[in-house]
Every structure is written in structure tokens, then in C-alpha cells.
Amino acid sequence: MSSLDRSASLLGTSTMNQLDTLRVAVFGVGGVGSWCAEGLIRTGLRHLTIIDCDCVDVTNINRQLMATSTTIGQPKVEALRRRLLDIRPDADIKALNQRYTGEPLEGDLAADIVIDAIDSLDCKQALIIRATSTPGITLFSSMGAALKTDPTRVQTAEFWKVKGCPLARALRNRMKRSNEYPQSKFQCVFSDEPPHEAAGMKGSIVQVTAVFGFTLCSLVVAHCSQSAIRDEETIL
């Protein structure tokens, strides 16, 4: 028996083979990216790069996968890497403890799929521009999960068709002002729930952020299933 048997029974051998060879880079492993990364590893992904510059803070515990009382102060990518290797010891997981600013990082885009789970607008825009202008890369992006409480409002759409999301609107406005636009279309995960007011820091909860992350994971798995179908049709 294998830890991936139940995934394989549902998704099929061809999709599992795609997942096993696929290279994914997740930028930002907070309340959204951490759950996406674990979902991918549990489903069958083997080659993963995780990029984030932050350390675990006590305020992360309410929603970030690797944030516990024992990991406070540790680099997020290192804490997450250890957890993911506990799940799948044979996984190839690279952890880059760096902030993405648009400049190339070592091996950061050596990937087939890029997951944008960054919450900083300038860094997010830089990644979107670079990823969509790099041949051979498919981008999936998370829009704003903060100030939301209803996970049933989480959905997907192409970036320019995202509605009801202040982060997406702010990002599009920045692109118009800078005259820097994505070079290709890409799918986003977002919520059209009107944002709630929060006292002090911007509030967010795991019931929503994890759904964002798992939805990003599902987009990757669907991409693999579609690739497997295309490969089979080509053979036939």
C-alpha cells in the first residue's frame, strides 16, 4: 500500500504521473500558500519550491499551517519544509528564505507552475508580470483572503474577470498606472464577499484562507488531469 493510493484511485495513473514530474513554485507560504503546498504534497506532487522571507509569528497561529507554539521565530519556509517532508519523505522540496522583489532568485522560476500567494502589492505585481512573460510557465494567483468570513463565496476566474475583490482592483489600478500588464491570461482564486471591518490589524481566519489554498491546489491538479488527457489523445 502507498500513501498516494487513494489519490491514484480517484485521479488515475496518468494524472498521478503528471503530478510526480511537475515542478511547482509557491511564492508566499502564509495563510493561503501553506495550505496549497500541503495539499499538493498530500495529493502526489514531488517537486516543490517554497519562497517566503518571514518568520513564524504568534499572530500566524490562527491560520497558517506550520505556525505552532513550537515554531515561533523560525523561518516559515523551513518550518513548512520539515512538515511536508514528514508527510512525504521522498519529496524534493527547496526552501528559499527570501523576499521576492522581481529580481531572479536561485531556481525560483525553475518550475512548470507558479503559485502566487503573495500579499504585498508591489511584489505580487512583479511576480505576475515575470511569470506571465516567461515561456512554459502557468500561473495561478490568490487574490485577497483577508477580511472575509464566508468560505462558500470563494471561487475562480480569469484575472480581468475577478469581481468584488479590493486587492484585485488595487492590483489592476497599479498596472494601469505603471503601464505594466500581464503578458498572458491566468486564473485567480478570489472571494466576492464584501470585506468586513476589523479593529487594528487586518483580520483573516483559517476557514477562508485554507479554502483559498486548497482551491489553488485543485487548479494545479486539474491542470495535470487536462495535460494527461491531451497526452493520451496525442498517442491515440
- CATH number of the domain that 69 lies in? 3.40.50.720
Q: Tell me which residue range forms the domain holding 88.
A: 12-193+202-235
User: Does residue 35 fall inside a structural domain?
Assistant: yes
Q: What residues contact 200, with CB distance under 8 A and at least 6 apart?
A: none
Residue-averaged pLDDT of the chain:
94
pLDDT at 234: 61
Residue 7 lies inside a defined structural domain of this protein = no
Residue 236 has pLDDT above 60, yes or no: no
Residue 20 lies in a domain: yes
The dihedral built from the CA positions of residue 67, 70, 76 and 77, taken in this order, carries a sign that is: negative
Closest-CA residue to 82 (of 194, 131, 71, 179): 71
Mean pLDDT value across residues 126-142: 94
Q: Give the number of other CB atoms < 10 A from CB of residue 65.
A: 25
Residue 73 lies in a domain: yes
* Total domains, the chain: 1
Question: With bands split at pLDDT 50, 70 and 90, how would you rate the model's confidence at 229?
Answer: confident
Percent of the chain predicted with pLDDT > 90: 87
The three-point CA angle 117-101-123 to 5° equals 40
Residue with cell 505580487: 124
Closest CA to 90 of 41, 49, 51: 41
